[in-house]
Amino acid sequence: MENLGEFIVNHWLLWTIFFVLLGMIVATTISNQLSGAATLSTAQAITLVNQKKGVFVDVRAASEFEKAHIADSVNLPASSLQEGMSAIKDKQKPVIIISANGQGTLPIAKKLQENGFSEVYILKGGIHTWKEAKLPLFS
């Protein structure tokens, strides 16, 4: 413990990287909490769809959606989000947003909430984690 100061001085680059990464993790966590859109695992998403009749909303491009998608999911590409929201009839049902890898979905979640959707969730890891869990996909 008496050499901690010397270690910090000699390895200042490692400490800088550590604190930058720590700051990024904390910022992401706080941003997710403030957005009002919780992230769900695949098991939690399936439970929500089965118990509360939730809807999977796939925000990937139509070409990616056609290659592989979750059964009964609605394709609502991020590029045409505003126009496509009418495809979801009941705004009181839970909506689970699916992207390719779970990234970049916070703005979409906020937009859905602004347009009256009461329960908005994000599938953690996107379609990638769905595939890793060996859950069925349709084309």
Tens digits of residue pLDDT in 69-108: 999 898 888 778 777 777 777 888 899 999 988 788 888 8
Are residues 127 and 90 part of one domain? yes
Are residues 54 and 15 part of one domain? no
Q: 14 lies in which domain range?
A: 1-35
Look up tokens 């010397």; give the residue: 6
**Residue 32: predicted pLDDT:** 64
**Residue 98: predicted pLDDT:** 93
Q: What is the pTM of this model?
A: 0.74
Structural domains counted in the chain: 2
Alpha carbon separation from 5 to 46, 97, 110 (Å, rounded): 50, 47, 45
**Residue 1: predicted pLDDT:** 66
The two structure tokens encoding residue 75: 């394709």
Tens digits of residue pLDDT in 26-65: 887 777 666 667 888 999 999 999 999 989 999 999 899 9
**Residue 16: predicted pLDDT:** 92
Q: What's the burial of 123, exposed, middle or buried (CB within 10 Å: 0-12/13-18/19+)?
A: buried
pLDDT greater at residue 10 or residue 85: 10
CB atoms within 10 A of CB 120: 21
Are residues 69 and 8 part of one domain? no
**Residue 33: predicted pLDDT:** 67
Domain-located, residue 84? yes
Look up tokens 């379609």; give the residue: 127
Are residues 70 and 16 part of one domain? no
User: What CATH number is given to the structural domain containing 124?
Assistant: 3.40.250.10
